[in-house]
Structure 1
Amino acid sequence: MSANQHTPRVLIFDSGVGSLSIGAAIHDLLPEIDLLYVMDHGGFPYGEWPEALLTEHICATVCRVLATHKVDLLVMACNSASTAVLPALRSQITIPVVGVVPAIKPAAALSQSGVIGLLATPGTVSRPYTAQLIQDFAAHCHIIAVGSPELAPAVENFIWHEHALDAVLSRVKTAFSQHTDFSAMDTIILACTHFPLVQPQLSVLLPNINWVDSGQAIARRVAFLMGELGLAETPGKPARQSAIILGEEPASANLAQYLQARNIKISAD
C-alpha cells in the first residue's frame, strides 16, 4: 500500500455487543475494510432512555469519539437509536450515517406462509415507525410481535459474563407459541442487533424457521456508500478490527476472549 493510499474505516456504534452482529456482516462482505466498534456499555440499554436524553447522549458520545478517531462512515447499530437519533446526529457530523431498521421487507418476501414473527424490544414493537414498515411492506402478512424486555440484557450478560440464557429463551418461545397462528409461522425477524448473536440457541427452540436480520442489508449499504465516496478496499490487506468499551466497567475476561476469537482488539477510548 502506498503512503497516500487511504484504508477505509467504518465506526459501528451501539449500546453494547449488538454492534458485533452488524460488524460480522460487514466484515463478511468487505473483509479488507477496517472496523472500529464502539460499545457504549455504560449507556445500555438505549431502549429505556427518554428520546431527548438519548439523542443528546449519543450525539455527544459520537462527537467525542470522532474527535480522536478518523473514520469514513458510521453505522448506528441499534434499532432504538436509529429511529430516534439519526436526524440530530447527521446534523452534527460530516460523515455518512447508516441506521438499522427491522428487516420487515425481506422477511415478507421470504415467508411462504405469510405468518411472520417479529422479535424485538418493547420499544421497537410499539414504535409508529415499525407499524409503518409493516403497513408499507407486509400488509398482506400476519405479524406475531413479541417485545421482550429481557432478551437484549440477557444476551449482553451472556457475552460479558457467560450467564445462562435458557430461561429467557424459553419465555421467548412461550410468547410466540401462545398465538393461534404459531404453527404456521415460518419466518422470524430479529429486530434487535443483539439477537443474531444467539440465533443458534434460538434455532434449537424454534426449528424450521427462516431467521432474518438487518446485517446483510446494512453491509450492502455500507459497500454502496464506500463506492459513492470513492473508497475502495486495499487488496490483500488484512482488516484491522478494534473495539472501544465505554463505561465504568472494564471489559470482562469472557468478553475479551469473545472478541479475541473474532480478531477484534480492545483499544483505549
Structure 2
Amino acid sequence: MSKTVLVFDSGVGGLSIYEPIRQQLPGLNFLYAFDNACFPYGELSESRLVERCCQVIAAVLARHPVDLVVIACNTASTHVLPTLRQTLSIPVVGVVPAIKPAASATRNGCIGLLATPGTIARPYTHRLIQEFAAHHRVLLCGSTELVVQAERKLMGQAVERAVLAEVLAPWQQGEQKPDTLVLGCTHFPLLKQEIADLLPDVALVDSGSAVAQRVCHLLGTQPASSEKKTSRAYCTRDDDKAARLRPTLQAYGFESLTCLV
C-alpha cells in the first residue's frame, strides 16, 4: 500500500517543496494543508504559531492516516519541530535555508540570503551562516512582499515586477554582488523565473531537493503501484482567495480543496 505524506505551510509556498518530493517519489499519496486563515506566519507570536501548526496538522491526521509530515515553512520549522516530534509517532521533516550548499557553490565568496524578516533575524539562521559560511560574505535581505507576490502568482494574478526589482536592487549594483542566492523562504522558488530575469548571472539555491532526499531516505523507494493515488488539499479559510488557488492546486495534481473548519 502506498505511503502518504502531508506537506504543511501557512500558504502555497510549500508547493515548492512538494514538487521535488513528488518528482523523486511519484508513488506516494500526498496531502497538502495550508493555514490561510493565519497567513502569514511571520506575523504570529511563537506560541500562537506552534498552536496553529499543531491544530491544523492534528485536523488533517484525524481524517487521514499519514506516514510522514513535512513542515514546508522556514518560519514554522524553526519553532514547531520539537513539539511535533514529541507529539507524533511518525517522522517530521522541516526546512532550513540552504546556506550549506550555497557555500559550496559560490565562486566569488559572496552569498545572498533572501528570506522573510523573521528568518533573517532568527539566531538559528545566523548559526547556520557561522557554521557553513563563516569564511564567505553573506548579504541578508528580508522581504514579506515577495511572499505576497508568490501568492498572487499562484492565484493567476500578475507578479508586480517593479516590487521585485526594488527588493533586489541592492544586489544588482555595488562593488561586490552575490554570485549565489539562497531562496530562504519556500514561497520564493515560485518566483524563480522572475528573480532570475533580474539577476541573470546569479545561481539560485533552495531547499526543495534536500528535503526530497530526506523524505526518500526516511520512507525508502516506493515501488510502482496500480492503486489510485490520493492527492488532496486542505485550507483553513474558504474564501475568494482560496477559490482562486483551486486551478493551481489542480495543476499540481490535487483533485480537491476542502476547508478544515
CA separation of 1:250/1:242 partners in 2, compared to 1, >3 Å: closer, same or farther?
Answer: farther
Is structure 2 residue 251 aligned with structure 1 residue 261?
A: yes
The corresponding residue for 1:33 is 28
The corresponding residue for 2:128 is 133
Is structure 2 residue 13 aligned with structure 1 residue 23?
A: no
Deviations 1:115-168, CA, capped at 9 Å, x for gaps: 111000000011000000000001111111111121112211221251432122
Deviations 1:29-86, CA, capped at 9 Å, x for gaps: 1111111110111111111111011111211221121111111000000000000111
Specify the code of the residue in structure 1 equivalent to 2:32. Answer: Y
For 1:188 and 1:95, locate their aligned partners in 2 and report how far apart those are by CA, in whole Å: 33
The corresponding residue for 1:149 is 144
Find the residue that maps to 1:264 and give its secondary structure: coil
Find the residue that maps to 2:103 and give its secondary structure: helix
Segment of structure 1 superposing worse, 151-160 or 16-25 = 151-160
For 1:123 and 1:96, locate their aligned partners in 2 and report how far apart those are by CA, in whole Å: 26
The corresponding residue for 2:222 is 232
Correspondence for 2:182 among 189, 196, 215: 189
Find the residue that maps to 1:119 and give its secondary structure: strand
For 2:53 and 2:59, locate their aligned partners in 1 and report how far apart those are by CA, in whole Å: 10
Find the residue that maps to 1:17 and give its secondary structure: coil
Is structure 2 residue 174 aligned with structure 1 residue 175?
A: no
The corresponding residue for 1:165 is 160
CA separation of 1:209/1:237 partners in 2, compared to 1, >3 Å: closer, same or farther?
Answer: farther
CA separation of 1:181/1:35 partners in 2, compared to 1, >3 Å: closer, same or farther?
Answer: same
The corresponding residue for 1:79 is 74
Q: Does the Cα contact within 8 Å between 2:70 and 2:93 map onto a contact in 1? A: yes
Segment of structure 1 superposing worse, 195-204 or 172-181 = 172-181
Correspondence for 1:241 among 224, 228, 231: 231
Is structure 2 residue 64 aligned with structure 1 residue 69?
A: yes
Specify the code of the residue in structure 1 equivalent to 2:53. Answer: I
For 2:132 and 2:242, locate their aligned partners in 1 and report how far apart those are by CA, in whole Å: 41
Find the residue that maps to 2:152 and give its secondary structure: helix
For 2:56 and 2:117, locate their aligned partners in 1 and report how far apart those are by CA, in whole Å: 25
> Structure 1: which 5+ runs fail to align?
1-5
Is structure 2 residue 204 aligned with structure 1 residue 211?
A: yes
Specify the code of the residue in structure 2 equivalent to 1:197. Answer: L
Percent identity (aligned): 46
The corresponding residue for 2:92 is 97
Find the residue that maps to 1:211 and give its secondary structure: strand
CA separation of 1:248/1:236 partners in 2, compared to 1, >3 Å: closer, same or farther?
Answer: closer
Specify the code of the residue in structure 1 equivalent to 2:14. Answer: S
Find the residue that maps to 1:244 and give its secondary structure: strand
Q: Does the Cα contact within 8 Å between 2:2 and 2:225 map onto a contact in 1? A: no
For 1:135 and 1:105, locate their aligned partners in 2 and report how far apart those are by CA, in whole Å: 10
Specify the code of the residue in structure 2 equivalent to 1:211. Answer: L
Is structure 2 residue 117 aligned with structure 1 residue 117?
A: no
